[in-house]
């Protein structure tokens, strides 16, 4: 019975868009090629040397749209200290919607479109949005959130990772 209550609580938290963390310890970010809106490419190796937030999202995801101002504010707060953000639009998101969203919201960071779904697959078969990964300077995933992160806690973790050599 307790098991079912725990499963129901996690399901309810996900449905409510509450950030849930799974996993422990740092693991290498999967080798991926991100195709950016301008057609250029970025690889997982390009993430090394900075603390990077990799945010899987969709224009049709209410929680994604609602959290985007906080994602932007976090980027603006830490970008000069070695922090970056990469927003990865899901394969089902029409590219024209993604471009329109990025332009009208003036997203200050790189936006990629995962046309084939291969990036989401490589990063743990991401299906729920938003799913957000925090990657350290060594290119390792330190934390994974499903749903909107607790941004106060996220900021503390970013500061800790930025302070690391």
- Which residue from 53, 61, 74, 57 is spatially nearest to 133, judged by alpha carbons? 53
Tell me the C-alpha to C-alpha distance, in Å, between residue 129 and each of 25, 63, 71, 132: 22, 8, 14, 8
Q: What is the pLDDT of residue 25?
A: 62
Helix axes 151-163, 62-78, angle to 10 degrees: 40
Going from N- to C-terminal start, the domains of the chain cover 2-163
Q: What is the pLDDT of residue 165?
A: 80
CA gap 90, 67 in Å, rounded: 16
Given the DSSP bridges, would you call strands 83-89 and 51-57 parallel, antiparallel or unpaired? parallel
- 10-residue stretch averages of pLDDT, the chain, 165 residues long: 41 39 69 96 96 98 97 98 98 97 97 97 97 97 97 98 93
Q: What is the pLDDT of residue 24?
A: 45
Q: What is the pLDDT of residue 80?
A: 98
Cβ atoms of residues 61 and 92 within 8 Å = no
* CATH architecture of the domain formed by 2-163: 3-Layer(aba) Sandwich (3.40)
């Amino acid at each position: 019975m307790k098991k079912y209550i725990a499963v129901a609580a996690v399901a309810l938290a996900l449905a409510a868009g509450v950030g849930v963390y799974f996993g422990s310890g740092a693991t290498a970010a999967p080798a991926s090629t991100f195709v950016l809106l301008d057609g250029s490419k970025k690889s997982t190796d390009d993430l090394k040397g900075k603390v990077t937030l990799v945010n899987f999202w969709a224009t049709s995801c209410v929680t994604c749209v609602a959290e985007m101002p906080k994602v932007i504010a976090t980027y603006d707060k830490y970008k000069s200290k070695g922090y970056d953000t990469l927003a990865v639009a899901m394969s089902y998101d029409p590219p024209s919607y993604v471009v329109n969203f990025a332009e009208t919201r003036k997203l200050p960071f790189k936006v990629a479109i995962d046309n084939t779904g291969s990036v989401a697959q490589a990063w743990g078969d991401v299906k729920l949005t938003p799913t957000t990964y925090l990657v350290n300077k060594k290119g390792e995933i330190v934390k994974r959130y499903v749903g909107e992160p607790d941004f106060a806690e996220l900021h503390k973790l970013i500061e800790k990772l930025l302070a690391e050599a």
